[in-house]
Amino acid sequence: MVDAKRFTTSGGAGAEIADQVSSDSVLRLFADGSTVVLQGLHRLWPPLIGFADQLAADLGHPTQVNAYITPPSSRGFSAHYDVHDVFVLQVAGEKHWRIHEPVLTEPLRSQPWTDRPAEVAAAAAGEPVIDAVLRPGDALYLPRGYLHAATALGEISAHLTVGVHAVTRWSAAEAALDLVRTLAVDDADLRRALPLGVDLADPAAVRDDVATVVEALKSWLDRVDPDEVADRLRARTWSQVRPEPVAPLAQSAAAASLTGETVLRLRPRLRCVLREPVGDRVALVAGRRTHDLPASTRPALAALLAAGELKVGDLTGLDAADQLTLARRLVTESVAVVPDAVAGGGRPAEDAGSDGAGPRGPAESAGAGPGGVDRAGPGGAHGAGAGGVHDGRRGDSLGTAR
């Protein structure tokens, strides 16, 4: 891996921080045999955004796409393994691949190959299970853990790697343990101090206390609700991929001028699930956030999640005033967008903020509007059973599906 300082520099006046790619340095390094890696293309190039989203919908796990461009007769990385599954798609040139059996089956993210370099090097010196040349249009599947190294042949080689980040049983175990930690803090015995003068260097001095703690944690683990663990697993997975950015100024202007004819579109790649009502409230889980809304809005929300796009006047079960109130809430909370929104009367906004979390639109006054539709911001989460689900595009980079 080349140190970033060798191919970055300042951008001149107004961009003095040395984090800009230096094209002449890249040229020199490429000429010397270094591979150019373009990371995160699934967030940047529309064809790959759509491809990664659909693949994730089919597989049910998050995806990413990188590109690797290697100069002729050069090797990229030495033999190693990845902690996610990989599809290699050869785009240009030819590359010779040597694949070896894992030294650790199905490694987790916390178990990178750099933890066992000697084992990897020894295994890579043996007979490969695959020894093949990929040409444009060829594909290769590498399950996580399989050792691999590749060398470009007589011309520049370019390939895409489509990474599939498996949601594992260990992911569920981590979610369960996190929940135990949250619950067990209420156990007064576990909060009790160890004896004064205890010698922590002597395991025997704390053995009884540790045994008590272990037994208590077993008891708390037995009380864990599998549904709550599943919801924590969902939240952790959804947080890995951001939805499409919004245009803050244009959407703010649109929220202030909604009519019954305004079209609302669910924000692309925002994963949503609508819970069953709890009393007179209903929870809309949208990405990393949970929005607390009156139960009377559930039919309208379900209709929007099912259709993906609706006119404000078609929000089911609400009068005109409540339709506008709900629509304004969804736009200012970046759950839905107005597709043709413009800022300041200019041309339609094509460029949005970098992280999709721009400033909020006009604030609404607290209290309830006509028909009981809230005008306040999101409140606490309700964790009742599952309701309507929207995956952000009938399939997004997290693979959620209805």
Tell me the CATH number at 337. Answer: 3.90.930
Indicate the average pLDDT of the chain. Answer: 84
DSSP string, 270-302: --EEEPPPBTTEEEEEETTEEEEEEGGGHHHHH
**pLDDT at residue 344, rounded to an integer:** 67
Q: Where are the beta strands (DSSP E) in 114-204?
A: 130-134, 139-142, 147-152, 157-164
8: in domain? no
Residues 58 and 89 in one domain: yes
Name the phi and psi angles at 249, rounded to 5: -70, -45
Q: How many CB atoms within 10 Å of residue 180?
A: 20
pLDDT higher at 384 or 59: 59
Residues 255 and 361 placed together within one structural domain of the fold? yes
Name the domain boundary from 121, 137, 164: 164
Does residue 160 share a domain with residue 138? yes
10 Å Cβ neighbour count for 222?
8
Residue 373: pLDDT band by 50, 70, 90 thresholds? low
Q: What domain range is 192 assigned to?
A: 177-238
The domain that holds 128 is classified in CATH as: 2.60.120.650
CB 151 within 8 A of CB 78: no
Residue 172 within any structural domain of the chain: no
**Full 3-state SS string of 216-254:** HHHHHHHCCCHHHHHHHHHHHHHCCCCCCCCCHHHHHHH
Dump pLDDT digits (tens) for 47-59.
998 889 888 878 8
pLDDT-derived band at 243, boundaries 50, 70, 90: confident
Residues 255 and 375 in one domain: yes
Question: Given a cut of 80, is residue 388 above it in pLDDT?
Answer: no
User: How far is 116 from 112, CA to CA, in rounded Å?
Assistant: 8
138-176 tens-digit pLDDT: 999 999 999 999 999 989 999 999 999 999 999 999 999
Q: Which of 103, 108, 90 is nearest to 162 (CA)?
A: 90
| Domain tally, the chain | 3
- Local confidence band at 381 (pLDDT 50, 70, 90 cut-offs): very low
DSSP state of 75: B
How far is the C-alpha of 232 from the C-alpha of 237, rounded, in Å? Answer: 9
For residue 1, tell me if it sits in a domain.
no
Please tell me the distance from the alpha carbon of residue 355 to that of residue 274, in angstroms, as a whole number: 24
* Predicted TM-score of the model (pTM): 0.72
For residues 201 and 320, membership in a common domain is answered with no
Domain assignment present for 122: yes
289 phi and psi angles, rounded to 5 deg: -115, 155
Q: Are residues 303 and 375 in the same domain?
A: yes
16 lies in a domain? no
Strands (E), 299-379: 309-311, 336-337
pLDDT at 347 over 50: no
Choice between 280 and 360, residue whose per-residue pLDDT is larger? 280
- Bigger pLDDT: 147 or 344? 147
Q: Are residues 265 and 202 in the same domain?
A: no
Decide which of 109, 135, 164 is a domain's last residue.
164
Confidence of residue 390 (pLDDT cuts 50, 70, 90): low
Determine whether 95 is exposed, middle or buried from the number of CB atoms within 10 Å of its CB (0-12, 13-18, 19+).
Answer: buried
- pLDDT, position 85: 97
Q: Which helix (H) or strand (E) holds 183?
A: helix 169-184
In a domain, 212, yes or no: yes
Same domain for 71 and 144, yes or no, is yes
Residues 185 and 80 in one domain: no
Residue 190 lies in a domain: yes
Q: Would residue 260 count as lying in a domain?
A: yes
Q: Are residues 148 and 224 both part of a single domain? A: no
Q: 193 and 113 in one domain?
A: no
Residues 159 and 184 in one domain: no
Tell me which of 219, 238, 257 is where a domain ends.
238
